[in-house]
Amino acid sequence: MFAFPFIVAAQDLGNVTSFAEQLQSLVDILIPIVVALALLFFFWGLATFILAAGNEEKRKEGKKMMIWAVVALFIMAAVWGIIQLLANIFGVETGGTIETPRIN
């Protein structure tokens, strides 16, 4: 339903190109921020774990934070690796700009 205006105005793909470029730039900005937040979360858990030497409950909380941060980092790295693998298998070039098809 949301794509219907694009289908009706199929000869003008300028809006689609603009949207795709904006989406790509947003993702390019968000990826390093999310990775940095996961690393910060890990180090926050590490600090909580180390500084709560006498409090077992705080140590468990810090350990849980570190585990979830490592899981998040692993998932992000795995998704990136799978995308690169699929791009290599299918011969798709990653990075650069998005080229949308145009009707002459």
pTM, entire model:
0.68
CA-CA distance, 99 to 34, in Å (whole number)?
A: 26
Residue 14 has pLDDT above 70, yes or no: no
Residue in this structure with the two tokens 């145009």, named with its chain if needed: 102
Q: DSSP per residue over 32-82, as a string?
A: HHHHHHHHHHHHHHHHHHHH-SS-HHHHHHHHHHHHHHHHHHHHHHHHHHH
- Mean pLDDT, rounded, for 10-26: 70
| Band (103; pLDDT cuts 50, 70, 90) | confident
Residue in this structure with the two tokens 């180090």, named with its chain if needed: 43
pLDDT at 27: 85
Domain residue ranges of the chain, discontinuous segments joined by +: 14-90
